[in-house]
Amino acid sequence: MSGAKNCPETPRQKMIGMMYLVLTAMLALNVSTDILNGFTLVDNSLHSSIAASDTRNAKLYHDFQAANADNPEKTQVWFDKANEVRLRADSLYNYIQDFKEQIAILADGKKAVAARKAAGEDPTLHIDGNSNLDVTGQYAIVQGNGAILKEVVAYYRDYAAGLAEDDAELRHSIQATLATERGYNSHEKDSCDWEVAIFDGMPVGASITILTKMQNDVRATESQLIQYLMDRTDAGDLRVNKLQAYVIPNSNYVIRGGKYSAQIILAAVDSTQRPEYYVEGQRINDHGIYEVAASGVGVKKYSGWIAYQDPSTGEMQSLPFHSEYSVGEPAVTISNTDLNIMYRGYENKFSISVPGVANDKVKINVNGATVRQQGALWIIKPGDNAKNVTISVTAELDGRMQPMGSREYRVKALPKPGAYFKSGENEYSDGNISRGALLNNSATVIASYGPDGLLDLPFQITSFKVNINGTLTEARGNKFTREQLDRLSKLKMGAIVVITDIRAKGPDGKETRLSPIPLSLN
């Protein structure tokens, strides 16, 4: 029995299809935008149908895997085809999902979509701008993404139909379900391209539903193909479908001194036949694994062919392949998030990464300082007598640690901050000040690098003195004493007040004396 006959449409799927056709027709007649609520209902139903297909497909793959474990000689070829179907179906499904998300971004903005994804939600289920008539045409037609989607769908359709070459009914079903021929749109006077027919002038809500239906079609077709392949295992026929040579590299980017590794395979071949693999005219191992030392920087291209025996004629055939990889110098990115120097006694924050290498595979060694990791940052604190600090970076590549580079930093003492009298939102280093600002109970003496400073460090004022008419009084901490406030309240306009002998302690634990603050009462 064919895969198509084993996967008939359920009553629920037929109902969804009817609702989709009716709503599309009503939209074409410019019915009230309330009809978009109907598209939301259809979209939700389609998601339920997709979930049901996912469950069914998971069971089919599980059963197929179990059958292959029991009798690999009989099922391995078809099981390999099933795995390729899964990869291609997932690829197309995810491409359509990204297509929907890009439309959602144009309708609601990147922040809204990113927030939904961060919350673990499908950002296309609830779109605020679902009545927008412009963004779908902008993304699909103006930007040309609809034409690309058409090609991707057609490529998957042709592959799926070719896989079912000896089942005319299934092949016809796949071609009809994933058809991409010209269509008709109410905005056009004649037939138009597939992407224009389904996206031009469509509100976002309707377009999202159309795309969800495509995803549902992908999953339904996947179910039919897997069932079809399972049926073929009982036929005892090891015929293959369209042959294709593939090059699967571990990575297309290789650090000089590392190793480039790629798997060269011939898909859908008879497991009783062993292909021959050739690269640049030389035969390589029978497993199709191509390895070459990565020497010289730049793009490296190579080509070859796979020789195999045609199962129908017994003659040797060949399929060519081409691929490339890049070889780069060892590189590391080191950036000081505070300054391009280090400060003595201060916890300098560094972000260190190696392109193409996960953070947990990157290690650093620091000479002349202590180091610890804090989340994604490295905290480096130079010693009291250090004049220079060297950061050396290594990364785990191909199972071994490889040096990636180093950088030396000059170590300087923290610069002395300025002293300010802060009252409300205003900061005074000298000049005129009102009586209200001077006597503000919340006013404090502070130490900082000012609004244009490159550093923002927590300095603590330990003490200061106030010169009032030649009399010095001392305050501990950063605020006037009650006695000082009483004296200040009796001053007349034009009186000079000097805050002097200001002492502050920095994050390095050292105390420093700051410049005085002369103020004139006006």
Least confident of 39-53, 239-253, 315-329, 388-402: 239-253
**How far are the Cα atoms of 78, 99, 125 from residue 61, in angstroms, in the given order?**
12, 27, 28
In this predicted structure, the answer to whether residue 192 has a pLDDT above a threshold of 90 is no
Looking at residue 23, what is its pLDDT? 55
Per-residue DSSP letters for 415-465? PPPEEEEEETTEEESSEEE-HHHHT-TT-EEEEE--TT-S-----EEEEEE
- Asked, colleague to colleague, whether 333-412 and 418-521 share their fold, the answer is yes
Percent of the chain with pLDDT over 70: 81
Residue pLDDT, tens place only, 388-407:
999 999 988 777 888 888 88
Q: How confident is the model at residue 250 (pLDDT cuts 50, 70, 90)?
A: low
SS3 44: helix
Residue pLDDT, tens place only, 348-371:
888 888 876 777 888 999 988 999
Q: Which of 471, 459, 470 is nearest to 502 (CA)?
A: 459
**What value does the mean pLDDT take over residues 216-233?**
90
Which alpha helices (H) appear in 140-203, and where do they start and end?
Answer: 145-163, 168-177, 194-199
Looking at residue 6, what is its pLDDT? 46
Looking at residue 463, what is its pLDDT? 95
Looking at residue 237, what is its pLDDT? 41
Higher pLDDT, 1 or 128: 128
Options 2.20.25, 2.60.40, 3.40.1000, 3.30.450; CATH of 418-521: 2.60.40
* Superfamily of structural domain 333-412: Cadherins (2.60.40.60)
Residue pLDDT, tens place only, 137-155:
999 999 999 999 999 999 9
End-to-end CA distance of the chain: 100
Looking at residue 401, what is its pLDDT? 87
Residue pLDDT, tens place only, 265-319:
776 655 556 788 999 888 988 777 888 887 777 778 899 998 877 755 667 888 8
Looking at residue 485, what is its pLDDT? 92
In this predicted structure, the answer to whether residue 432 has a pLDDT above a threshold of 70 is yes
Query: Taking the model in full, what pTM does it have?
Result: 0.42
Q: Write down the mean pLDDT value for the chain.
A: 82
Token readout for 372 is 């610890």
Reported for 295-298, long-range contacts at CB under 8 A and 24+ positions apart, including other chains, are 295/256, 295/327, 296/256, 296/327, 297/256, 297/327, 297/328, 297/329, 298/326, 298/327
Looking at residue 488, what is its pLDDT? 92
Q: How confident is the model at residue 238 (pLDDT cuts 50, 70, 90)?
A: very low
Looking at residue 317, what is its pLDDT? 85
Q: Which of 111, 114, 136 is nearest to 39 (CA)?
A: 136
Looking at residue 498, what is its pLDDT? 94
In this predicted structure, the answer to whether residue 38 has a pLDDT above a threshold of 50 is yes
Looking at residue 365, what is its pLDDT? 92
Element counts in the chain: helices (H) and strands (E): 12, 27
Residue pLDDT, tens place only, 161-190:
999 888 889 999 999 989 888 765 545 445
Looking at residue 17, what is its pLDDT? 58
Domain coordinates in residue numbering, the chain: 3-233, 244-328, 333-412, 418-521
Contact 163, 81 (CB under 8 A): yes
**What value does the mean pLDDT take over residues 229-240?**
63
- Which fold does the domain 244-328 belong to in CATH? Immunoglobulin-like (2.60.40)
**Dihedral angle, C-alpha 147, 149, 155, 161, nearest 10 °:** -110
**What value does the mean pLDDT take over residues 458-485?**
91
